[in-house]
C-alpha cells in the first residue's frame, strides 16, 4: 500500500489504526508471506514431524482439557470438507499463491476468499486453480462467481463427481446468535505447512466497519485465507480473511450471510474464462454508490475550531485519530485529525480501493508572524501527494480555484463576506476499472495571515457522479463560525 502524503509537514507518526497493518491471509509470493515460506522450506520435514508429534501429544492428552478435545472433534468432522486452494502458473506448474477453502452444497461447490483466486480471476490465461484435500487428492477447479466487496469466491471442481460424498460444512442458523467470548475454531493450511485448527474466541462484529466483519480473537496466518471458522458444533460462522500484524490474536472473518448470497447467485453460473475486470467494476460501482449514499446521509461533525466549521465525518464507519503539537514547540502550533475507513477492497496485491479518508489540520502561527506562517502554511499544502501515472491509475488531473463559502444562513445583500478558500480537486481514473476514479479534494482557508485550516478528502474507487457529489459535500462542510472581524 502506498503511504499517502498527509496534510502538512509535521507528518504524524502512523496512527495505531493504520490499514497497512492489516494482513491478508494469502500464502505465496505477495510480500511478507513469501519471506516466511522459503525460510520454512528446508525444515519442512521437521515442521511436519513436529506437527505430527504435536497431534499425537494432543491425542494422548485429550482427556486433560475439554477445548482441545473439541478442536480435535471438529477437525475430524470437517477434515473431508477442508481443502487447500492453489493458484498455479499455467506454464510452469509452480504455485503462485495458496489459500484454504471448504465444501458447501454437498461437496459440489467450494468457497474461499476472492483474494486467494484473484490472480486467476484477473489473468485466467496465465493461471489455473487446483484443490488439494487433507488426504492429498488433487483436482482442477473452476471459478463460478466472486464477491469482491466481501472478498469471497465460489468455485467448483472441474470433475463434478470428484468431491461428492464428502458432505458440506453446515451453517449455523442466523437466529442463533453467538455470544461474545464463545470458543470458535478456524481451519486452514497456514503457510502451506499443513492443515491446522486455530482456536480462539468470537468477539462479535468489528466496530465502525462499513462492511460487516467479525472479530476473531485467535491467530490466523497466511495460507488460512478462505478456510472456515466454525462453532463448537462444527457449523459455519464465517470465513477466515485477514489479521492485524500490529496486534496479537486480532483476526477477521467474513460473516456467513454474504457467503450464502454468493452461493445463491453463483450456483449455476458459467465458469469464468476471461479476465474479471468488468464484473469487478460492476460490483465496485454498486459498492461505491451505497457507500457514497451512506456517507452523504450523515451530517458532518465539527472539528471544534473556534472560527471555522471544518468537515469531520461521523465515526459510524470511520475511525478518527487526533494529534496536536506540544506546547513546548516554538514553531507552528497545530492540531490534526485523521479519519479512515477500515474496510478496503482488495483487487490484487497492489490495488486496494473502495474507501474514503478525511483529514484536517488547524494551524495557529501567532508566535511566528505572518511571513513565517505563510511559508509553513504553503509548505503544508505543497506536501500533499496526488499520485502519478502507474499500472492501475492514470496521473491526476486537477482543477483549482479560489472559492468562497457563504456564511451559514445565507449570504444575502449586506451579509458578512463569506469564507475564502483555496480548493484543489484532483481526479485519477482506473485504467482497468472503467468508470471508477480516485478523488482528492484539498482545501485551505485564506482569511487570516497567522492562522488557518487545511483539509483533505480522498475517495478511492468512485464514479464520476459520486465524485462530484462528494466534492461538493466536502466543500460545503467549510464555513465561518465567526469571521475575524466579529471575534475582535
Partner 1 sequence: MDRAQDRLALIEIVEREGHPARRVDVRAWPVTLGRALDNDIVLDDPHLAAHHAQLEPQGGAAGGAIALRVLDSRNGVRLAGRAVPAHTPLPLPAAGALLQMGTTRVRLRLPGEVLAPERQLAGHAGDTLTPTLLTGAALMGLLCAQHAVGLDPGADFSAWLPTLFGLPLAVMVWCGLWALLSQLLHHHFDFSGHLRIALPWMLGLGLLEALWPQAAAALNAPAGWQLSPALEALGAALLVHAHWRHALPKRPRAVSAAVAGLLLLGGGISVASSLRANDSPYRTPYMSTLPLPALRLAGTVPAATLVQDMAPLAARLAQRVKKAREEDRDDSDAAVED
Binding positions for partner 1, rule: CB under 8 A = 330-332, 367-372, 374-375, 377-378, 381-382, 384, 386, 388-389, 394-406, 418, 420-432, 434, 437, 442, 444, 446-449, 464, 467-468, 471-472, 475-476
Rounded (5°) CA angle 30-32-34: 60
- How far apart CA 119 and CA 125 sit, in angstroms, is 10
Q: Which is nearer to partner 1, 225 or 362 (CB)?
A: 362
State the nearest-atom distance from the C-beta of 402 to partner 1, in Å.
5
- How far apart CA 428 and CA 393 sit, in angstroms, is 6
φ, ψ of residue 56 to 5 degrees: the values are: -70, -35
Q: Which is nearer to partner 1, 90 or 180 (CB)?
A: 90
Q: Which is nearer to partner 1, 323 or 372 (CB)?
A: 372
DSSP-based helix, strand, coil % in the chain, nearest 5: 25, 35, 40
241 neighbors 225 (Cβ within 8 angstroms): yes
Q: For 168-317, list the strands marked E by DSSP.
A: 170-171, 183-188, 196-205, 214-217, 228-230, 235-244, 251-255, 308-309
| Residue 300 burial by Cβ neighbours in a 10 Å radius (0-12, 13-18, 19+) | middle
Q: Which is nearer to partner 1, 300 or 321 (CB)?
A: 300
Q: Which is nearer to partner 1, 51 or 325 (CB)?
A: 325
Q: Which is nearer to partner 1, 153 or 347 (CB)?
A: 347
Q: Which is nearer to partner 1, 203 or 309 (CB)?
A: 309
State the nearest-atom distance from the C-beta of 229 to partner 1, in Å.
39
| Residue 1 burial by Cβ neighbours in a 10 Å radius (0-12, 13-18, 19+) | exposed
Q: Which is nearer to partner 1, 25 or 425 (CB)?
A: 425
State the nearest-atom distance from the C-beta of 415 to partner 1, in Å.
14
State the nearest-atom distance from the C-beta of 60 to partner 1, in Å.
56
State the nearest-atom distance from the C-beta of 432 to partner 1, in Å.
8
State the nearest-atom distance from the C-beta of 296 to partner 1, in Å.
14
| Residue 86 burial by Cβ neighbours in a 10 Å radius (0-12, 13-18, 19+) | buried
State the nearest-atom distance from the C-beta of 403 to partner 1, in Å.
5
How many Cβ atoms sit within 10 Å of the Cβ of residue 270? 9
State the nearest-atom distance from the C-beta of 328 to partner 1, in Å.
12
Q: Which is nearer to partner 1, 205 or 417 (CB)?
A: 417
- How far apart CA 446 and CA 308 sit, in angstroms, is 12
Rounded (5°) CA angle 251-256-315: 60
How far is CA 26 from each of CA 84, 240, 346, rounded to the nearest angstrom?
11, 10, 12
Amino acid at each position: 500500500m502506498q503511504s499517502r502524503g498527509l496534510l502538512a509537514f509535521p507528518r504524524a507518526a502512523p496512527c495505531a489504526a493504520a490499514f497497512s497493518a492489516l494482513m491478508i491471509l494469502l500464502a505465496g509470493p505477495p510480500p511478507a508471506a513469501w519471506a516466511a515460506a522459503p525460510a520454512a522450506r528446508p525444515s519442512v520435514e521437521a515442521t511436519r514431524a513436529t506437527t505430527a508429534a504435536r497431534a499425537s501429544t494432543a491425542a494422548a492428552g485429550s482427556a486433560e482439557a475439554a477445548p482441545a478435545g473439541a478442536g480435535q472433534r471438529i477437525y475430524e468432522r470437517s477434515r473431508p470438507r477442508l481443502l487447500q486452494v492453489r493458484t498455479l502458473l499455467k506454464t510452469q506448474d509452480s504455485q503462485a499463491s495458496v489459500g484454504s477453502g471448504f465444501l458447501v452444497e454437498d461437496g459440489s461447490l467450494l468457497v474461499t476468499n476472492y483474494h486467494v483466486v484473484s490472480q486467476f480471476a484477473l489473468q485466467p490465461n496465465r493461471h489455473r486453480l487446483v484443490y488439494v484435500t487433507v488426504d492429498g487428492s488433487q483436482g482442477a477447479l473452476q471459478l463460478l462467481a466472486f464477491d469482491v466487496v466481501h472478498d469471497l469466491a465460489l468455485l467448483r471442481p472441474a470433475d463434478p463427481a470428484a468431491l461428492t460424498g464428502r458432505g458440506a460444512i453446515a451453517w449455523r442458523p442466523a437466529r442463533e446468535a453467538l455470544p461474545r467470548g464463545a470458543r470458535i475454531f478456524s481451519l486452514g493450511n497456514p503457510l502451506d505447512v499443513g492443515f491446522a485448527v486455530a482456536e480462539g474466541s468470537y468477539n462479535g462484529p468489528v466496530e465502525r466497519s462499513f462492511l460487516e466483519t467479525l472479530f476473531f480473537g485467535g491467530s490466523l496466518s497466511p495460507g488460512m485465507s478462505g478456510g472456515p471458522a466454525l462453532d463448537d458444533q462444527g457449523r459455519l460462522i464465517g470465513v477466515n480473511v485477514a489479521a492485524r500484524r500490529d496486534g496479537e490474536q486480532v483476526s477477521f472473518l467474513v460473516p456467513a450471510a454474504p457467503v450464502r448470497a454468493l452461493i445463491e447467485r453463483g450456483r449455476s453460473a458459467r465458469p469464468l474464462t476471461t479476465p474479471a475486470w468488468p464484473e469487478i467494476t460492476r460490483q465496485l460501482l454498486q459498492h461505491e454508490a451505497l457507500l457514497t449514499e451512506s456517507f452523504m446521509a450523515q451530517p458532518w461533525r465539527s472539528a471544534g475550531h473556534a472560527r471555522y466549521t471544518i468537515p469531520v465525518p461521523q465515526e459510524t464507519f470511520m475511525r478518527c485519530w487526533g494529534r496536536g503539537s506540544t506546547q513546548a514547540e516554538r514553531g507552528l502550533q497545530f492540531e490534526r485529525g485523521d479519519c479512515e475507513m477500515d474496510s478496503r477492497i482488495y483487487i490484487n496485491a497492489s490495488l486496494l480501493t473502495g474507501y474514503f479518508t478525511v483529514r484536517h489540520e488547524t494551524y495557529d502561527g501567532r508566535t511566528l508572524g505572518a511571513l513565517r506562517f505563510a511559508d509553513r502554511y504553503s509548505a503544508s499544502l505543497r506536501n500533499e501527494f496526488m499520485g502519478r501515472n502507474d499500472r492501475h491509475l492514470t496521473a491526476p488531473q486537477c482543477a483549482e480555484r479560489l472559492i468562497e463559502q457563504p456564511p451559514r444562513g445565507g449570504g444575502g445583500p449586506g451579509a458578512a463576506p463569506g469564507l475564502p478558500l483555496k480548493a484543489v480537486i484532483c481526479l485519477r481514473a482506473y485504467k482497468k476499472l472503467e468508470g471508477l476514479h480516485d478523488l482528492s479534494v484539498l482545501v485551505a482557508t485564506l482569511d487570516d495571515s497567522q492562522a488557518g485550516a487545511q483539509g483533505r478528502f480522498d475517495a478511492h474507487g468512485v464514479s464520476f457522479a459520486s465524485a462530484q457529489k462528494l466534492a461538493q459535500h466536502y466543500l460545503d462542510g467549510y464555513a465561518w463560525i465567526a469571521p475575524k472581524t466579529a471575534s475582535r
